[in-house]
Amino acid sequence: MGYLDEAFTKMKHALEITQTEQDQAKRRHEAARDHVRSAWKLSADFLTGSYVRDTKTKKLKDVDVFVVIDAAGPQGTLRSLPPSSVLSQLADVLRSKYPDAYADQIACVIPFGSDDEVMSLDIVPAFERSGGGYQIPDVHTGGWIDTDPNVHWNLSIAKNKVCDGKFVPFVKMIKGMNRELGEPVRSFLLEVMAQSLVEPPFTDYPSEIRFFLASAREQIHNAWPDPAGLGPDVNTLSSFERMAAATALSGALQVAERAIHLGDSGQERAAVEAWRELFGWRMPRP
């Protein structure tokens, strides 16, 4: 294995969730779910989002938990209230155990320390949707939006299979790069774009990253519909944010092209240093 290949292999392993991180996530999300169940009658509660799809990058932030409210229970009337009211009431429940919990756009956030393996949980109140899936509150629109995280999960599994197990590590890499760039693109949008832009046969990580950056730069202005076909468009960036994201992706593409040129020229150590400009600590030196 060459120096450059070893660097990417080490980055793949560095981005994998360790047992210690899994154990802390499990303790924290189970405690939060137990706490909500002690106050509200739920029909279900479960982990969802990129943590379940195994595309969550480190450190773990915004680990998603759905708490599905029993429509026939005492909290069933919450469905008729504005999303901000529902999230406010859930935040009140959480603050009795987690004083720093607060309501956000579609979830209540439980923040932990920035040095922790699990930096925060997102607790999403939901109601079962007629026809399948769920409805969750959206303060931005003032209404309830349809979603089905199971569809997103199945799509990720299928894409990873046809890409010989390389799609999930690839998504972690581009999410890690996005964090290094200051998160110009929202995490789920990146994943939705990757679902469409990455096609089998998967070649190698440097080539696929270059192709993705080139395509994403051009298509960041697109709406990017919900892959489940239920919810609103995934790209909620403003026009200004889309322009800023395109600029960031263009800059990253230039670095990637330089890194690939160095690798093709046999300058593998210099290539790794160039890639490290995009990935930072996530790419350990061999």
The pLDDT value given to residue 49:
67
Is 188 within 8 Å of 50 (Cβ atoms)? yes
Cα–Cα distance for residue pair 35/65, rounded to 1 Å: 13
Q: What is the dihedral of CA 170, 138, 89, 65, to 10 degrees?
A: -20
| Cα 237 from Cα 223, distance rounded (Å) | 9
- Model pLDDT for residues 118-127, shown as the tens digit of each residue: 788 999 999 9
> Long-range contacts made by residues 85-93, C-beta under 8 angstroms, separation at least 24?
86/125, 86/137, 87/125, 87/137, 87/139, 90/36, 90/40, 90/123, 90/125, 93/35, 93/36, 93/39, 93/40
Pick from 73, 83, 192, 189: nearest CA to 136: 83
Beta bridge partners of 109: 102, 122
pLDDT digits (tens, 9 = 90+) for 101-157: 999 999 999 998 777 667 889 999 999 999 899 999 999 889 999 999 888 889 999
**Tokens matching residue 158:** 């299928």
Which position has the higher pLDDT, 52 or 81? 81
Cα–Cα distance measured from residue 263 to residue 202, given in angstroms and rounded to the nearest whole number? 19
Q: What is the pLDDT of residues 12-46, one digit of tens each?
A: 998 988 888 888 888 999 999 999 999 999 999 99
Tell me what the pLDDT averaged over the chain comes to.
93
CATH class of 19-147: alpha beta
Element at 69 (helix H, strand E): strand 63-69
Report the C-alpha gap between 138 and 91 in whole angstroms: 15
Average pLDDT over residues 240-251: 98
Q: How far apart are CA 174 and CA 180, in angstroms?
A: 10
Question: How many angstroms separate the CA atoms of 181 and 162, rounded?
Answer: 29
Beta-ladder partners of 124: 66
- Is 51 a residue whose pLDDT tops 80? no
pLDDT score recorded for residue 218: 97
